[in-house]
A and B are shown apart, each in its own frame.
Chain A
Amino acid sequence: MIPELGHLALWLALGVSLVLGTMPMVGAARGRLDWTALARPSARVLFALVALSFVCLAASFAGNDFSVLYVASNSNRLLPLHYRITAVWGGHEGSILLWLLMLTFWTAAVAQFSRHLPDAMSARILAVMGWLSFGFLLFVLTTSNPFDRLFPAAAEGRDLNPLLQDPGMVIHPPMLYMGYVGLSVAFSFAVAALIGGNLDASWARWARPWTTAAWFFLTIGIALGSGWAYYELGWGGWWFWDPVENASFMPWLVATALIHSLAVTEKRGSFKSWTVLLAILAFSLSLLGTFLVRSGVLSSVHAFATDPKRGLFILAFLVIVIGASLALYAWRAPSVGLGARFSLVSRETMLLGNNVLLVVACGAVLLGTLYPLALDALNLGKISVGPPYFDTVFVPLLTPLVFLMGIGPLARWKEAELPDLAKRLKWAAGSAVVATIVAIWVHGGIGIVGALGLLMAFWIVASVTTDLVERLQPPAGTRVALLQRARLIPRAMVGMMIAHLGVAAFILGVTLVKSGEVERDVKMEIGDTTEIGDYVFTFRGVREVPGPNYRAAQGTIEVSEGGRAVATLHPQKRIYTATQAAMTEADIDTGLTRDLYVSLGEPVANGAWIVRVYYKPFVDWIWGGCLIMGLGGVLAATDRRYRQRAKKTVRTDALGAVLGTT
């Protein structure tokens, strides 16, 4: 009964999304307030229906209803309850339902927080989001129904993919999808503005906090996925340039460009058509990522449940959504105009450079991901390009990007002067160089790329510091306390500085891991030791440990440094009962300056095992950097001026309403 209820809710949602897609749009065109007024309630009902359907699926999982095909394929009685719930998005159908839930959530959120927008504008935005929901609902209902019954019911489920039985997997997909789908808000803003022809600075101001929020989720989602790969796949890597990873990285790059471009459009009115294009592209890449992962055109380590029929549906959807929005763009954007002029040396130019580099980087990733596919379409064979390609492409693109990141925030809008910039940044440049030399001297040889990485990280820190110091310095002739000056810095500005520092931490982490990591695979008998630097790893043997739905061989490895015990690590090799799949569970001693990473390879003989011991300096800075970037995003998105303006307009709306009735 519960699955049927969920299924019914999806059909009802389809109808509501159709209403949301059409009525407000037509109403906005004809000025019919009674039709545009349908937008908000429809958005809320849509969310409620999809949420109901999601809860129904979760209930089927919790209650072990193996008469539902999807539950039987992805769950098992032995699976602990929390993993039975997260198994909802452990397969294709449920992931798409989760995607849909996020989409309707964002739609409802826009309905809630868009009261300060002109009525026609918010109606159009919600209508565009309604169409997106309609497409995805149709996709779920026609090709990927999670509520399909299985007759006769299975006695036992096939179990959740063991790779996904991990706390990281509990939050990684929801965060990532929040990010992916959150970009649909900026997309809908852009399309609505193109339709309405009101592409101006206020459009950019409304879109900014939404875009930054989506970017925050995307950043955290990607970081979680990377962290999960690091400790769960058992080979100590944190990024593999796998198509699925690239699928999330491409929207991130464009969303990052979009955040910066929106700033220019809001402050200076420039880049308008470019910003709109980025907003369309960012969400298009989310959709493209979905297509790549779901259709089976690219093979990947973690592509699951692929089916050409679904691929065809998503491709058709892709062509309609992206094709239509780009056609709309080609039709409406030329009339937008160029906005304020700016000189060659100005903050606009720096941000344009940032945009171009980020988009080119995205293009490079797209090429590396699709090149195999394109060659294949041209009958030239199937390939994978891999880290050698991406590493070669990325360093030359990142270097100027980071250089601009230091200068941009200090450059004036419209027109800046090179000598002035050089003067203000000479201390930053000098101290970055000195810090790099000192670091290399302390750390030992790390190669040219390593030195470049350090220089980039220190350059960011030094230039952000310069920026901060300049902002804290009272103008000549005034006496203002430091704290007061600090309070005057807008929160969005602080967010930007923090996010840039996050990039520095990230670069530092990547550089030091790449140059200083030690990976060792050793055969160890009980009592054997192996050394990495000052750390001594002693193998104490392996014993059997039972788990809820697996058996594990658990090793014990003691780590000491200079005779002092540092950690006792328990890596596991698990065999899951239902699938008989073997999984490697690494154990990691995490530290600010290094991770000690141990995982079990294969048993050899007489209790001896192949043991993998990794020393990863500063690896946690990679994810720490992402968290810091995310924190910057939160600060920027919650800047007071967005909230204040919202409040003020609500009040005038209310006043208008009162006046209107009298």
Chain B
Amino acid sequence: MGTERSAENAGMLDAAPCGLVQTTEAGEILWANLTFCKWVGYAREALITKVRFQDLLTMGGRIFHQTHWAPLLQIQGSISEVKLEFVHRDKTRIPMVLNAIRHDAEGRVVIEIAAFVAWDRDKYEKELVLSRKRLEELVQETAKLHANAKDRALFAEQMVGIVSHDLRNPLAAIANSASMIQRGELSVSQQRSVERINRAIDRAKWLIFDLLDFTQARLGQGLSVTTGELDLHEVIAESVNELIFIYPGRRLEHFRVGDGRCVADGNRLTQLVGNLVSNAMTYGSHDTPVLVTSEVGADTFSVEVQNQGPPIPEEIKATLFEPMTRGTGATSSGRSVGLGLFIVREIARAQGGQVSVISTLEQGTAFRATFPRAAPKS
């Protein structure tokens, strides 16, 4: 589009299916075709030399014109596909996509602009923007829900810790009173009642210890351990002897491999064996023995508890060591609330060890906790 137009060319440009505008560097309109004039609702005479191109834009468009359009034209000499909204004389907004070229002929700068009304593109884009916003809101909401759930879970875990801690005092009072009663003259049925009370106290005590360990492992720095030099075989043998009394009528056998010296927390090992044997007794077959093997190798030592019986169902294998996981077929007589294996794993971890499990129909189920022989002192 030259500055000198034949009447015929001007007529063609006037009827062109896009808006055409020429402005000075500052934006003053030098010429506009009829299509553009019609789109913005002004007579050509009302635009030429009377209005700046940017004054036809919305305020946002004017700022964009100043901060992006003008410097870009200056530096690059052209821009394309910029979408700005024009304000029609009747105040309605008309979105247009714009291309522009800057001509600098001997110091006289002319900017030529082609404009296309873009209603549909505008509508579509606005829908896209809206759906992106909605998506962002959803993501935020989800994150908030997630954080809330985490907070609630944490609160619940803290509550468990507090309650189990505080339950120890009333329980101790009951235990003391039971032993006082036991010192007196008791009938056979009274004697039986007291024994039942004592067994119930023991179960409750184990539950509380498990819960305290659970909260310590989850909310604190992990389970506390106090390691020292000890003979693994002796510690495990002692535990096994105690456990035999807890499971009358069941067989529990202990095997030793290697010499027994290692560095570990004896009390925690007793707890670990207790939990594993309890599981073996609960879930294993009742007519085959539960085997406990303590083994000390060159660099590691391990404790393994094996039972025969149906294997661990596939669907709970993945979460076996997570708290609140219980096997099928567990009865209310089991002392655990589903913390046994979680605590076993935490005991192993606290001493730099790990727990593995093999469970098949043919070989039964074997849990093995393996530790470095010289555990780091905590």
A and B pair up: no
Residue numbers of B with Cβ under 8 A of A are: none
Residue numbers of A with Cβ under 8 A of B are: none
